[in-house]
Amino acid sequence: MAATKKTALTKSSSKGLGKGLGKGINALIPEGNEEEKVIIKEVVVKEPAETKVRISQIEPNKSQPRKMFDEDALIELSESIKQYGVLQPLLVQKKDNYYEIIAGERRWRAAKLAGVKEIPVIIKDYSDQEVVEIALIENIQREDLNPIEEAQAYQRLIKDYRLKQDEVAEKVSKSRAAITNSLRLLKLDTRVQEMVMEGKLSNGHARTIIGIEDGDKQYMIAQKIFDEKLSVREVEKLMRDLDKPQKPAKLLPENDFVYRDLEEKFTKIMGTQVSIKNKNNNKGKIEIQYYSQAELERIYDMLRSIKEN
């Protein structure tokens, strides 16, 4: 009976990584039932086991999709680690003279801040592609990546490892459309991408202005969104207005300066803004601005007194 169980374990451990990736990091470390756990203690197997490693021997993965870490959140986590320790082990792989983090860089950074000397890890060997996939999946599940970092990670899987978009979608348990929309963000001007990474622009804002091909114009709109705190709906309206063809400027009559001079004189007399809308046939209209009912009555009394005189 024991031999049968050993054979079953061997088959289980030989399964590919791809089907488990979208289900979470725990899917990479089979737990087994109670009887199987007893057998693991009795025989030498290659399944990963938790151990402790000096934190000075651990280094982050340079290919980690996540580049930006919230300092306040790290300090908060470090305080928790001081009190309770690191509750979840890091996933690492052995390099020449150090261990490289596959998943858990945030915990490692917080543990360093907390002054921890040793940290729990699970040591396992993966290919370069698997390392990228695991790091990407962990960050996506924790919602740790900003939209640009996530798009860059997808692009790397496609470019460096020649995966198709639907293959990437399957690995990270997302739709193909979601991957396509994410990759479109990389068409943004690099300055706008920086604004997204810094949290100055949301994902929705960024998608709205992708259609602006001129980089300088796109950056100018992005700054306007940030400075004026425009909502996504307001940006959509702004984009529709940009798409409308501009009306040609009307040619002013040769004697237009005469009407502008009269405007100033009327404004001084009336004590409020007066506009003269003249046409080329010397016809037009006069507009008198008022800003309250009291001012309207004042203008009425003024015109009536002129008529009576």
For the annotated catalytic residues, the residue numbers are 105
Q: How far is CA 93 from the centre of its chain?
A: 29
Residue 282 CB-half CA count within 13 A: 2
Q: How far apart are CA 99 and CA 58, in angstroms?
A: 5
Q: Name the 3-class secondary structure at 10.
A: helix
The alpha-carbon radius of gyration of the chain (Å, integer) is 33
Longest Cα separation, the chain: 121
Residue burial 245-272, b: 16+ Cβ < 10 Å; e: rest: eeeeeeeeeeeeeebeeebeebeeebee
Interacting residues of 79 by C-beta distance below 8 A, sequence separation 6+: 114
User: In the 8-state DSSP scheme, what is residue 193?
Assistant: H
Q: Which helix (H) or strand (E) holds 123?
A: strand 118-123
Closest alpha carbon to 22 in 176, 172, 169: 172
Q: How far apart are CA 61 and CA 149, in angstroms?
A: 15
> What's the token pair of residue 105?
């860089």
Q: Chain-centre distance of CA 174, in angstroms? A: 16
Cβ–Cβ under 8 Å, residues 173 and 93: no
Residue 29's contacts (CB-CB under 8 Å, 6 or more residues apart) are 47, 48, 122
